[in-house]
């Protein structure tokens, strides 16, 4: 149930976004169909603002899911560094790889290198 929670949060963000867009369009069309000068103007605003609001609001949920996924990935990658059966040369190679990928900065690299 809680495995791969990052991808589930991202999927939920997509579902909520599309549901919000669909609901905004339906409510806007109903307002347009109900007639009147005010109803048609408000209906159009509901469609536009509702769709944009759902889309922009999903950024935060999707971003949180992405953050969870990347954090889990980093934790998985660092398990090998902390493993007792990995040699110093292998750890140094891993550190250099992470530094090249931008996963760690120069200070973290030097700190971990000094511990070897």
CA 79/CA 73 separation, integer angstroms? 10
pLDDT class of 107 with cuts at 50, 70, 90: confident
Q: Give the pLDDT score at 16.
A: 97
Assess contact for 62 and 6: CB atoms under 8 A.
no
pLDDT class of 101 with cuts at 50, 70, 90: confident
The pTM of the full predicted model, rounded to 2 decimals, is 0.65
């Amino acid at each position: 149930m809680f495995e791969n929670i990052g991808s589930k949060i991202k999927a939920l963000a997509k579902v909520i976004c599309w549901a919000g867009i669909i609901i905004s369009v339906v409510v806007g069309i109903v307002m347009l169909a109900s007639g009147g000068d005010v109803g048609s103007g408000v209906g159009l605003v509901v469609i536009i603002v509702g769709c944009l609001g759902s889309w922009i609001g999903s950024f935060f949920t999707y971003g949180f899911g992405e953050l969870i996924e990347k954090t889990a990935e980093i934790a998985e990658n660092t398990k090998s560094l902390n493993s007792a059966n990995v040699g110093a040369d292998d750890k140094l190679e891993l550190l250099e790889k992470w530094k090249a990928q931008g996963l760690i900065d120069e200070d973290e690299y030097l700190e971990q290198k000094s511990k070897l």
